[in-house]
Chain A
Amino acid sequence: MAEAPLIRLEGMCKRFGSGETAVRALDGVTLSVFPGEVVGLRGPSGSGKSTLLNVVACITPPDEGTLSLDDGPVWADGRYLVADLRALRRKRIGFIFQFHNLLPFLDATDTVALAMTLAGADLASARARARGLLDVLGVGRRAAAMPARLSGGEAQRVAIARALANDPTIILADEPTAALDSERARSVMDLLRRVARERRAAVLVVTHDEKIFGLFDRLVALRDGRIEAVATAA
């Protein structure tokens, strides 16, 4: 790929604890995710998948290595190089969670509109754009529904719409299909692939879900904080 990676980790290390009980959650991981690419992270519990996602999300500071997002350095020399990490997350990163994490007191439209207003949009235009986004993702008819009234698949689509609300270049997904059946899991993955292609976004997905392993452009296997293998789509 000729384009610069949107996510770039080099020699990333992260330890938890100290002394004899210290655990190396990440041990020199180097990984790049390019525009339009959907990369999966798999591995047993404790392999470092979630830590890697948290490091990329800038919610867990690493110990060593460098991190660049959207072609800009974010972590180097043992410190963050960006002052407002939440603003970085608001504008450049979209999150998709295992259990959707929709705020129970906001309907689908306002769930998406909230992310937009946090980034500075006015409420009226945010709602209009949110409805459009929900339409694109196939849940436009559920725009006024509260989260408790949404099916698992609908809720995950609303969550994806929220993740896309501010046109992020990076999408991080934590077990996005774990709570879905095969058909809905494939549908969500198709959606993520479409988003990655159409928006030229980099999508990094942590998953245990074997039924979607074949749907990634690359599938990175982690073990003991190191990259064990990388499988590329045929």
Chain B
Amino acid sequence: MNLALRDIRHRLSRFLITCLGVGLLLGVALAMVGISQGVVAEALALTRSLRAELWLVEAGTRGPFAEASRIPGDVREMVARVPGVSAAAPITLRTAEMAAPGRIIRAQVMGYEPGRPGWPSNISAGRGLGGARHELVADERAGLGLGATVLMGQDRYRVVGLTRGLVASGGDPLVFIHLRDSQELQFKLSPPAARRAAASGAGQGSTDTVNAVIARLHPGADAREVAEKIRRGKHLSALTDAEQSELLTRSVANRARVQLGMFTVVLLFVTGVIIALIIYTMTMDKLREIATLKLIGAPDRTIAGLVLQQALLLGLAGFAAGLALIFAVRDRFPRTVALGPEEIGVMLAVVVTICALESLVSIRAALKIDAQAALGG
């Protein structure tokens, strides 16, 4: 006879309300874990989508994400000729604001040449960029539909494709435009003095500058060797994709992740204290029942089992409620909430451990209840 389940069934509405409360707390903790993972996922989303094996950037920099990088556009041809490189493509990256009907959208704008590496691999609707100018592929987070138009610089762009899950490390949606458009946009969005200097041929010179060249390698080519070769011969900084990912995680996402991680730990501690109090209160509410059980000869394991099973059921039901809540609302969060099986599994283990450990206090209290408490009024 399972006393824990029978007691819960008897006080079902009270138990469900308690589970809902615990679920809300655990939901917030799960959201923090998800956002923490999301920061990394967002930071790496573009590099994963581009599937580049090498990143070539301005010498002495760690661009284009962690630091600014500007290199001539014709670097692409030089890189393409390096032994081991199968394809190379220039890209630009900058933050810009687009005017859509009734709102301004802040986005990370990436320019690439259609037909070369650099196109987004996760297109969910429409198509990638074609030959025509002033086309745009936007991530769904930008809230634009296929065929919509936006004003950027002084040009109107038409949305021809949508991607899913491509946002910059700051949470801004990524949009993709033709490299030529992005270079012009770079020029148009520059301060007027710099623009005048560039137009007159002074200052920084040509508008054919890009922020990085990405390269793919022949099968069997060693990315580190090719990178080293380019560093020595071409006066560029060369990063393998693994190095770029590490740089993004460490420099761009890590501080936010640590911050969120610390907050999650505090939240879990608070959740733990609250669950402990709830379990203790649930146990002490049954003081007379437990005393009666002891008096009629119930062994300690029966009483400990009653408390432990209720604590675990509370934790599991609360966890399920919190998880359901987060999955129901996570798309409404402005930042990515990345909760995979691994994160869910770890959090479940943490919750089960918290409940089991905290039930020990209540079990100890229950076993100390004097059987005499069952007697008298």
- A residues at B contact (CB < 8 Å): 50, 53-54, 57, 59-60, 86-91, 95, 97-99, 101, 103-106, 110, 113-115, 117-119, 123, 146, 162, 174-175
List 6 A-B pairs, minimum CB-CB distance, nearest first.
Answer: A90-B297, A105-B10, A89-B297, A101-B292, A105-B7, A105-B6
Given contacts A90-B296, A106-B1, A118-B296, list 18 more A-B pairs with CB under 8 A. Answer: A57-B371, A59-B370, A86-B298, A89-B296, A97-B374, A98-B376, A98-B377, A101-B288, A103-B289, A104-B10, A104-B289, A105-B6, A105-B7, A105-B10, A113-B1, A118-B297, A118-B298, A146-B10
Chain B residues 102-156 with CB under 8 Å of chain A are none
Residue of B nearest to A123 (CB): B1
User: Which chain A residues border B296 with CB–CB below 8 Å?
Assistant: 89-90, 95, 115, 118, 162
> Are B372 and A54 in contact, with the CB atoms below 8 A?
yes
Q: List 18 A-B contacts (CB under 8 A).
A: A50-B375, A53-B375, A57-B371, A86-B298, A89-B296, A89-B297, A90-B296, A98-B375, A101-B288, A101-B289, A101-B292, A104-B289, A105-B3, A105-B6, A105-B7, A115-B296, A146-B10, A174-B376
A114 CA to B288 CA in the complex, in Å?
Answer: 16
CA A131 to CA B347, docked complex, whole Å: 46
In whole angstroms, how far apart are the Cα atoms of A135 and B125 in the complex?
A: 73
C-alpha gap A172/B292 in the complex (Å): 14
B336 to chain A, nearest CB (A): 45
Within 8 A of A (CB), among B205-241: none
A39 CB → nearest B CB, Å: 18
Chain B 281-299 near chain A by CB (<8 Å), digits 1 or 0: 0000000110011111111
User: Interface extent on B, as a size class?
Assistant: 20 to 34
Give the complex CA separation of A207 and B105 in angstroms. 83
Q: How many A-B residue pairs have CB under 8 A?
A: 72
Query: How distant is the Cα of A103 from the Cα of B292 in the complex, in angstroms?
Result: 8
Contact A57 B295 (CB under 8 A): yes
Which B residues touch A95, using CB under 8 A?
295-296, 374
CA distance A106 to B4 in the complex (A): 11
Q: Which residue of A lies closest to B10 (CB)?
A: A105
Residue of A nearest to B295 (CB): A95
Q: Which residue of A lies closest to B291 (CB)?
A: A101
Q: B295, A89: Cβ atoms under 8 Å?
A: yes
Listed residue (A54, A86, A110, A146) with the most chain B CB atoms within 10 angstroms of its CB:
A86
CB neighbours of B288 from chain A (8 A):
101
A91 and B292 CA atoms in complex are apart in Å by 15
B17-51 at interface with A (beta carbon < 8 Å): none
Chain B residue nearest to A59 in the complex (CB): B371
Question: Chain B residues near A104 (CB, 8 Å)?
Answer: 10, 289
Say yes or no: is B9 at the interface (Cβ < 8 Å to chain A).
Answer: yes
Enumerate chain A residues within 8 angstroms of B377, measured Cβ to Cβ.
98-99
CA gap between A101 and B288 in the complex, in Å:
8
CB < 8 Å neighbour of A174 from B6, B7, B375: B375
B302 on the interface (CB 8 Å rule)?
A: yes
Q: In the complex, how many angstroms separate the beta carbon of A172 from the nearest chain B beta carbon?
A: 9
Across the two chains, which residue of chain B brings its CB closest to A179?
B377
Beyond A97-B374, A98-B377, A113-B1, is A105–B297 a contact (Cβ under 8 Å)?
A: no
A199 to chain B minimum Cβ distance, whole angstroms, is 18
Contact of A50 (CB < 8 Å), options: B3, B292, B376 = B376
Closest to A88 in B: B297
Residues of A within 8 A of B297 (CB): 86-91, 115, 118-119
- Chain A residues with Cβ under 8 A from B374's Cβ? 95, 97, 101
Q: How far is the CB of A69 from chain B (nearest CB, A)?
A: 14
Q: Which residues of B contact A98 (CB under 8 A)?
A: 375-377
- Interface pair A110/B370, CB less than 8 Å apart: no
Residue of B nearest to A105 (CB): B10
Give every chain B residue within 8 A of A119 (Cβ-Cβ): 297
A197 to chain B, nearest CB (A): 24
Contact, CB under 8 Å: B372 / A59: yes
A75–chain B nearest beta-carbon distance, Å = 16
* Known contacts A59-B372, A101-B288: A86-B1 contact under CB 8 Å: no
Complex Cα gap A115–B370 (Å)? 19
